[in-house]
Structures are given as structure tokens and as C-alpha cells.
């Protein structure tokens, strides 16, 4: 089980706003904040940190669990918060017989997924 992970970003304010909106439908809420870093925590104890950096940033792929309604809301919220579509909500039979997912690129190109299977 993963306790937490950090996504490094160049435009901290823009990315923090994106993650706050996109992760809310999946049960994540803003938690601890420090200058240039913010935590989004879920009720299961896991968390995602968004941290600003002046260094190089390599895009990552992170997948979050949700039910179909939450996945649809994640996709919609992510797009409204400045993300770009990387796969509308729907079945992904090539990933598994019950796999359902949506994908959004955050403003800096990280591939953020919400899925159930």
C-alpha cells in the first residue's frame, strides 16, 4: 500500500488548483500546506503531494480509484480546471474485462487517471 506520493510541478499555484478540483470527486481534500507544497488526503489515509520545483520535471502517470460516477466527475472537474482530455470515461476492455477509466493530462502533461476494475 502506498502512503503518499509527490508530483513535482513547475507552476505550483496552477497545478495545486487543478489537483484540488480534479481529486475532490475521488474523495481527496486539501490537507497540510507549506510554501510551495500542498497535500491532498483521502479518508483511507493515503495522500498526494503537489510540490513546486525549479528543476526538471518528468511527466508521470498516476491512477486513482473511484466508482463510475466519481470517475466521470473527476474527468469533468479535471477538464474544467485546465486539464486536457486523454481518454473520456468508459470501459477499457483491453486493460481488463471490468476496467473502467478516464484520463486527464494536468496542465504540465502528467497523465492522471481515475479507474475501477
* pLDDT grade for 21, boundaries at 50, 70 and 90: very high
CB burial of residue 32 (10 Å; 0-12, 13-18, 19+): exposed
Model confidence, pTM: 0.94
Predicted local confidence at residue 1, as pLDDT = 63
Predicted local confidence at residue 112, as pLDDT = 98
Predicted local confidence at residue 8, as pLDDT = 96
Predicted local confidence at residue 2, as pLDDT = 79
User: Percent of the chain beyond pLDDT 70?
Assistant: 99
Q: Which of 32, 37, 30 is nearest to 13 (CA)?
A: 37
Record the cell numbers describing residue 110, joined without a space.
Answer: 502528467
The answer to whether 12 and 52 have CB atoms below 8 angstroms apart is: yes
Domains belonging to the chain, first-starting first, are 4-52+59-116 (3.10.180.10)
Give the count of beta carbons closer than 10 Å to the beta carbon of residue 15: 24
Q: What is the DSSP letter of 35?
A: T
Which tens digit of pLDDT belongs to each residue from 68-115? 999 999 999 999 999 999 999 999 999 999 999 999 999 999 999 999
* pLDDT grade for 49, boundaries at 50, 70 and 90: very high
Cα three-residue angle 113-90-76, rounded to 5 degrees:
60
* pLDDT grade for 61, boundaries at 50, 70 and 90: very high
Amino acid at each position: 500500500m502506498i502512503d503518499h506520493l509527490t508530483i513535482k510541478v513547475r507552476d505550483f499555484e496552477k497545478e495545486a488548483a487543478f489537483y484540488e478540483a480534479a481529486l475532490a470527486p475521488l474523495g481527496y481534500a486539501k490537507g497540510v500546506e507549506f510554501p510551495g507544497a500542498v497535500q491532498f488526503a483521502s479518508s483511507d489515509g493515503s495522500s498526494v503531494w503537489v510540490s513546486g520545483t525549479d528543476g526538471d520535471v518528468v511527466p508521470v502517470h498516476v491512477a486513482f480509484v473511484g466508482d463510475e460516477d466519481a470517475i466521470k466527475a473527476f474527468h469533468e472537474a479535471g477538464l474544467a480546471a485546465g486539464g486536457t482530455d486523454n481518454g473520456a470515461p468508459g470501459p477499457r476492455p483491453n486493460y481488463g474485462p471490468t476496467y473502467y477509466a478516464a484520463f486527464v493530462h494536468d496542465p504540465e502533461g502528467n497523465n492522471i487517471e481515475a479507474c475501477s476494475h
